[in-house]
Each structure stands twice: as structure tokens, then as C-alpha cells.
A and B are shown apart, each in its own frame.
Chain A
Amino acid sequence: MLTSLLIWLEQTPPSVWVREYPSILGFPFILFLHTLGLAMLAAISVGIDVWVLRQQVIGRALRMTGVIRVMWLGLGINAVSGVVLLIAYPAKALTNPVFYLKLLLVVLGVYAVQRINRAVFPDGLAVMGAVTVATKRWAVVSIATWAGTVVTGRLLAYTHHVLFAQDLL
């Protein structure tokens, strides 16, 4: 049942287009967009985490709305490009446990970003006061989670067992 669904998905025009479009504006560019989205979300998040870990007190009102928008735009680019990449090679990803670990880490990473943003920049403005130990712990969790996301993302290329659903038959 699942195999038939994957075979059907691989034969849909969007899947074929992403795989076979003979230009760097096809699969390679979508892969770049996925990297760019991760940089906007995960890398900027790591930059904020490093800054948060150094702070004892937030003494001034911060206007971080712009940076936070960049991060959420990155998440959007990542989600869309990720779905397109998944449509191109569904069997390759969905039969690989590392793919699910990556998704879990992304969810945890986004949750950590939310926790830090709410604690340090509610509504994009900083609360005046101390950066709590709990917030610093979330910053560490965030760094570890994004590192895990990057590693599992890279390992997807090396840990898949099948490329196409046909290989499952």
C-alpha cells in the first residue's frame, strides 16, 4: 500500500520535474534554498544563543522583530523546499530512520527558538531583567539541536537504503 503510494508520488509531474529538470534552477537550486532557509533559521538562532549565553542582564529594550521575521521566513523557505525535495525522492527519505530523527530535531529546535524568543524578546521587545538559567539552558538545547539537525541532514545522503520506491518491490 505504502509502496504503491510512493511509486505514484514519484511518477507525478512535480516529482519528475524536480528530479529531471535539466538546469541548476531545478533540484540544485531547491537544495540551495533548503540550505539558505536553514542558515536563516538555525544559524541565526545559534548566533542569538551564543549572545544569550554571554548575557547576565537585558538592560535595554531590544527591537528584534526584524531578526525574528528573518528566522521565521527561513523556517518557511525550509518547509516549502523540504516538501519539494521530499516529493522528488519520497522513498529515499521516508524509508530512512535518520529522516525522522531530523524532523524531530527540527521540531525541538523550533520549540527552543520559541522559548528563547518568548523569554528574551516577547513580542520582539526585551523584558528588562536577568537572563535566567532556564533561558540559558534552552540556548544550549537550541545549539545542540541545530547541530544535530545539520548532522542528520548531511547523513541523509549516506544512510538511505533505497532511492526509488521500485527498489522496495
Chain B
Amino acid sequence: MSLPDVIHWLTHTPVNSVVMDYRWVWPISESLHFCGLAMMVGTVGLFDLRLLGLAKGIAPAALHWSLRVGMAGFAISVITGSLFIFGQPDQYFYNDAFKLKVIALTLLGVNVLAFYSLEARRVLTLGPEDDAPLRAKWIAAISLSLLILIMLFGRMLTFFRP
């Protein structure tokens, strides 16, 4: 199935009709998309800042619970983001900013995997005053950078439309 076939299929689904035919579906989805992003950036970002030493006095484990809220935010963003793709697939699949955003999201996922496979066990036993290991700090710095890039590429979508 070629990309034009995928785009043709997406534009002929009932989801496309809902997104495109009801005037308020797109603005409400965009609002929810940004709320989800704020939930993710706020909780993951605060955890990253703690690992980087900016919120000493809180045990990383105490902030780790908040990442569930971040995951919920990510889920909201993925669902609403999918609605946009169903609505105007050609505006995304041929958009360089979208491609870069997907790459940044994938790298963020790899970074999360790296954290849980290499550092989570050590980090989650740290006390409120303990410094995070250097590798965990690098993972946090990469995470923050990728979150900023995701926002940047997301904002640039409008200006790179085909």
C-alpha cells in the first residue's frame, strides 16, 4: 500500500468525516492536544529537572508517581493527534516538520527505554538529598531537549504545510 493509498483510505473513513464535518471537533481536539502536552511536559520536565539537581529535597521516587499523569497526557495527545492525521493526512505526511516531530517522539521513547533499562532502579532508590548518577543526568537532559524539539516541530507544522 503506497502513501497516496493510505491517504486516500484515511480521507474516506468515518473518523475523517467527524473531524472535518463538525466545526468544533478540530479546535476542541487542538485544545486537548495542548493540555495533554502540558501534562506530559510538566510532569516529565519536573522529574528531569530533579535529576539535573534543580529540585533537591524531593526523592525522585516521590515525583515518579506524577509520570502517570504525564503518560495520560501523552495518551490524550496521541489520540487527538491521530484525529488530525485522519482529518488532513496529506497535510502531515508531506510535512517536514511532522516528520521531524515523529523522529523526536521516537527518540524520546528510546530515551525512556534507556532510563528504565539502565538507571530507573538506581534513581528510584535515591534519597531526597542524593545526586542523580551522571548517566541519569544525561538521560534527563536529552529528555528535556527532545520535549523542547517536539514543541518546536509541533509549532512549525502550520508553516511547513505542503
Contact = CB atoms under 8 A, between A and B. Distances in A.
A binds B: yes
B148 A36 contact: yes
Interface string A122-134: 0000100000000
B87 to A, nearest CB: 15
Nearest to B38: A43
A150 B40 CA distance: 14
Contact of B151 (A39, A64, A153): A39
Contacts of A46: 38-39, 42-43
A46 B34 CA distance: 13
A67 B27 contact: no
A117 interface: no
Interface string A23-37: 010001001100110
B39 A154 contact: no
A45 B42 contact: yes
Contact of A32 (B41, B54, B58, B152): B152
Contact of B30 (A38, A47, A154): A154
A168 interface: no
A104 interface: no
Interface of A: 24, 28, 31-32, 35-36, 38-39, 42-48, 50-51, 54-55, 60-64, 66-67, 70, 126, 146-147, 150-151, 153-155, 157-158
27 contacts: A24-B156, A28-B156, A31-B155, A32-B155, A32-B156, A35-B154, A35-B155, A38-B38, A39-B41, A39-B147, A39-B148, A43-B38, A43-B42, A44-B42, A47-B43, A47-B46, A47-B47, A54-B62, A60-B58, A60-B128, A61-B57, A62-B55, A62-B58, A67-B49, A70-B49, A147-B35, A154-B34
Given A64-B54, A70-B54, 18 more contacts: A28-B155, A32-B152, A38-B38, A39-B37, A39-B151, A47-B42, A47-B47, A48-B46, A50-B69, A51-B63, A55-B62, A60-B128, A61-B57, A64-B55, A66-B55, A150-B31, A154-B27, A154-B34
